[in-house]
Structure 1
Amino acid sequence: MKISLLNKNDKEKAKSLWGYAFETDEPFYSWYFDNVYDENNCVGIYDDELVSYLQLNPYNLKLNNNIFPCSYVVGVISAPEYRNKGAMKKLLPKALEEMNNKGHAISILMPFDTKFYSTYGWELSYSQLKYHVPIDVIKGLKNKSGDFKKVKIGSSTDSLNEIYESYLCKYNGYVKRDNIEWEYIMREIDSYGGYMYLLTIDNKPCGYIFYYIENKTLNIREMAYTNLEGMGALFNFIYSHTSQVKYVDWPAPIGDNLYLFIKDTIKPEFTNDIRVHPFMCTRVINVKNAIENCIFENDAEFIFTVDDTYAPWNNHTYKVIVNDTKAKVIMIDPIHSQFSCNINTFSQLFFGSIDIYEAIFLNKVNVTDESGIHEFNKVFYKKNNFINEYF
Structure 2
Amino acid sequence: MINWGIRPAEARDGELLKELWRYSFHNDGEAFTDWYFRAYHRFSETLVATSPAGQVVASLQCIDMTLKNKAQSLKTAYIVGVNAFPEVRGRGAVGALMQEALKRSPYTGLLLMPFEGNFYAPLGFRYMNYHGQISVPMGDLYAYSQKAELTFKRFSLKAAPVTDLDRVYSTWQGRYYAFYVQRDSRRWQALLDDLAAEGGYGVMAYAQGQPVGYLLYSLQEKTFYIREMAYLSDQARAGLYHYVTGHRSQLGTVTWSAPLDEPVIDQPAGAKDYITYEPFMMWRFLSPASLPFFASKEPEVPLTFAYKDSHLKRISLWRWEGDRVEPIDQAEVDFSVTPETLSDLVFGHRRRLKQGCDIKDAEAFAAFGALFPSRPLAYINEYF
How does the TM-score come out when normalised to structure 2?
Answer: 0.90
| 3-state SS of paired residue (1:245) | coil
Amino acid at match of 1:209: L
Amino acid at match of 1:219: Y
- In structure 2, stretches of 5+ residues that fail to align are none
- In structure 1, stretches of 5+ residues that fail to align are 265-269
Distance in 1 separating the partners of 2:364 and 2:8: 41
Aligned to 1:267: none
1:164 corresponds to 2:155: no
Seen in structure 2, the aligned counterparts of structure 1 residues 193 and 50 have a Cα distance that, compared at 3 Å, is same
1:46 corresponds to 2:50: yes
Cα deviations across residues 96-150 of structure 1 (Å, max 9, x unaligned)?
Answer: 12212xxx22210111111211111111111112232211111132222222222
Distance in 2 separating the partners of 1:381 and 1:176: 21
Residue pair 2:49, 2:94 contacting (<8 A) in 1 also? no
Aligned to 1:302: 303
Structure 1 residue 256 displacement after superposition: 3.3
1:77 corresponds to 2:88: no
% identical equivalent positions: 25
Q: Within 5 Å, which residues of 2 pair with 1:16-95?
A: 16-23=19-26, 24-47=28-51, 48-63=54-69, 66-95=72-101
Q: Within 5 Å, which residues of 2 pair with 1:366-377?
A: 366-377=358-369
Distance in 2 separating the partners of 1:139 and 1:275: 20
Aligned to 1:320: 320
1:142 corresponds to 2:141: no
Amino acid at match of 2:378: N
| 3-state SS of paired residue (1:75) | strand
Distance in 1 separating the partners of 2:74 and 2:312: 19
Aligned to 1:105: 108
Aligned to 2:342: 346
Cα deviations across residues 62-91 of structure 1 (Å, max 9, x unaligned)?
Answer: 148621111111111111111111112311
Aligned to 1:330: 327
Residue pair 1:28, 1:187 contacting (<8 A) in 2 also? no
Seen in structure 2, the aligned counterparts of structure 1 residues 46 and 206 have a Cα distance that, compared at 3 Å, is same
1:3 pairs, out of 3, 6, 9, with: 6
How does the TM-score come out when normalised to structure 1?
Answer: 0.88
Distance in 2 separating the partners of 1:64 and 1:370: 31
Amino acid at match of 2:220: E
Amino acid at match of 1:42: T
Seen in structure 2, the aligned counterparts of structure 1 residues 119 and 199 have a Cα distance that, compared at 3 Å, is same
1:385 corresponds to 2:378: yes
Seen in structure 2, the aligned counterparts of structure 1 residues 271 and 81 have a Cα distance that, compared at 3 Å, is closer
Residue pair 2:292, 2:298 contacting (<8 A) in 1 also? no
Distance in 2 separating the partners of 1:31 and 1:165: 27
Structure 1 residue 240 displacement after superposition: 0.6
